[in-house]
Amino acid sequence: MNWANSRNIRVGFLHLIFYFIILIFLFPLFVKAQDSTRFTGYFAEPDAGYGFIVPHHKSMRYLQRGHIPAFNLRVGKSTDGNHEWEQLYRYPSIGIGYYYANLQYPEVLGTVNALYSFIDIPIFKMGPSSLFYNFSFGLSWLSKHFDEDNNIYNIAIGSHGNVFLNLALGSKIDLTRRMSLLCGIALTHYSNGAIASPNLGINVVTADVGLRYYPEYCLPVKPKHLDHFVPKFDYMLILSGGWKQIDPSMVEKYLTSSLSFQVEREISRKKNLGAGLDLFYDRSITRYMEHEKIQDIRKSDDYRPGVHVAYSLVFGKVNFTIQMGYYCFVRWNIDGDFYHRFGLQYYFSKHLLANLTIKTHFAKADFIEWGLGYRIN
């Protein structure tokens, strides 16, 4: 497919996206706000999407070969405020899902299968209709990836296994006491966090329509009284590890690790602000310097200290964290001065936590951090 046809695919679908966005915001107004019933309990939800690959690098334009059909099957539960965070986030829906997409380039990109967890958070509700945003996170399996012998044209994905991320904006109308109609716009991303190279990743934008079925229904729950909020400080020490590949021509994978100390303060029941110190170890740095024939290489160049600021959203035992950091005292900084983290922290108890974050340099993934931590509060 030439670039003109690829552009026509994108422009034509962008018109559809534009009208779909208008529909999303008008969707809640189509139904007269007279029934105040709010569904709770378990549900099943199939939906279908139609979209296109977004070439976030010019070199990826040739990967657009047609519109992308996608399918989701989700099962979940509409929360009832049993936990404080459910009430704070306006009674979101949570659950697990299965995703399938055909990337319309069978010999190079193949198909995608994914399993993920999700949360739908209402923005506002008016009678039987509502507007919400969605975040999904999981693992995906792409049937095709880069191979020096058999698939050199796949410059986006270097491994079968990848991370799955989805962000969406949608509307929902309760058609009956057990059935809801949904429509939305979604951005889906698959990449492997530099575990294998290449790792440009693939982004797909889709317009989605689905139905949600509830075996049972009940009336709205009454908000519970919340105790007076008293902000406090948390102190965390997190040790993480991982691995990465520099380039497809260099098949070896290199150990990475990090040790982080962070101080956080609650600024509301839902949000934390923090700052911290980091020490990274990345064996690939001196290997890359050797490959580039850089002189005066030292073993200490594999270590990079840094400082960071952090912002977290709190969902009960789960925190979604965003961090921006700056490298300090680095002789050869081949990735620039700044680094970033995005990810999740799960608290097994008051003190123990699991950490899963992806470290990046702006839009370029560095490595995935798998770790454990200890919190004092």
Question: pLDDT-based confidence at 21, cuts 50/70/90?
Answer: low
Would you state the structure tokens that stand for residue 247, as one six-digit string? 């380039």
Q: Give the per-residue pLDDT at 1.
A: 47
Tens digits of residue pLDDT in 54-63: 887 788 888 8
Q: Give the per-residue pLDDT at 220.
A: 62
Q: Among 213, 246, 269, identify where a domain stops.
A: 213
For residue 175, give the 3-state DSSP assignment: coil
Examine the domain organization and report whether 204 and 55 are in the same domain: yes
Q: Give the per-residue pLDDT at 34.
A: 42
Examine the domain organization and report whether 203 and 237 are in the same domain: no
Examine the domain organization and report whether 9 and 158 are in the same domain: yes
Q: Say whether pLDDT at 8 is over 60.
A: no
Examine the domain organization and report whether 240 and 208 are in the same domain: no
The more confident residue out of 41 and 15 is 41
The CA–CA distances, whole Å, from 332 to 67, 299, 300 equal: 44, 12, 11
Query: Which residue is listed with tokens 């009832």?
Result: 80
Tell me whether residue 186 is in a domain: yes
Name 375's Cβ contacts closer than 8 Å, sequence gap at least 6.
Answer: 234, 235, 236, 347, 350, 351, 352, 353
Q: Give the per-residue pLDDT at 230.
A: 86
Q: Which residues partner with 244 through β-bridges?
A: 254
**Domain CATH number, residue 350:** 2.40.160.20
Segments of the chain assigned E as strands = 41-54, 68-78, 93-102, 111-126, 129-142, 161-174, 179-191, 202-213, 233-247, 250-266, 271-282, 303-315, 318-327, 338-347, 352-361, 364-376
Report whether 336 contacts 352 (CB < 8 A). Answer: no
Tell me whether residue 344 is in a domain: yes
Examine the domain organization and report whether 133 and 274 are in the same domain: no
Examine the domain organization and report whether 307 and 200 are in the same domain: no
Examine the domain organization and report whether 111 and 57 are in the same domain: yes
Tell me whether residue 226 is in a domain: no
Tens digits of residue pLDDT in 206-262: 999 999 998 876 656 677 777 788 889 999 999 999 988 877 666 688 899 999 999
Q: Give the per-residue pLDDT at 56.
A: 78
Tell me whether residue 117 is in a domain: yes
At residue 233, what is the residue type? F
Report whether 240 contacts 377 (CB < 8 A). Answer: no
Tell me whether residue 263 is in a domain: yes
Q: Give the per-residue pLDDT at 36.
A: 45
At residue 352, what is the residue type? L
Question: pLDDT-based confidence at 35, cuts 50/70/90?
Answer: very low
Tell me whether residue 227 is in a domain: no
Q: Give the per-residue pLDDT at 33.
A: 44
Examine the domain organization and report whether 367 and 281 are in the same domain: yes
Q: Is the backbone peptide bond immediately before 69 cis, with ω within 30 degrees of 0?
A: no
Tens digits of residue pLDDT in 251-301: 688 899 999 999 999 999 999 999 999 999 998 888 888 877 888 888 888
In the chain, how many domains are there?
2
The more confident residue out of 82 and 8 is 82
Examine the domain organization and report whether 41 and 175 are in the same domain: yes
Would you state the structure tokens that stand for residue 35, as one six-digit string? 């029934």
Q: Chain-wide mean pLDDT for the chain?
A: 86
Examine the domain organization and report whether 208 and 237 are in the same domain: no
Tens digits of residue pLDDT in 88-135: 998 899 999 999 999 999 999 999 999 999 999 998 887 778 889 999
Tell me whether residue 98 is in a domain: yes
Rounded CA-CA distance 27/184 in Å is 10
* Domain boundaries, position 312: 233-376
Examine the domain organization and report whether 29 and 165 are in the same domain: yes
Rounded CA-CA distance 340/373 in Å is 19
Tell me whether residue 252 is in a domain: yes
> Pick from 80, 76, 72: which is nearest to 98 by CA?
72
Examine the domain organization and report whether 42 and 144 are in the same domain: yes
Q: Among 183, 213, 243, identify where a domain stops.
A: 213
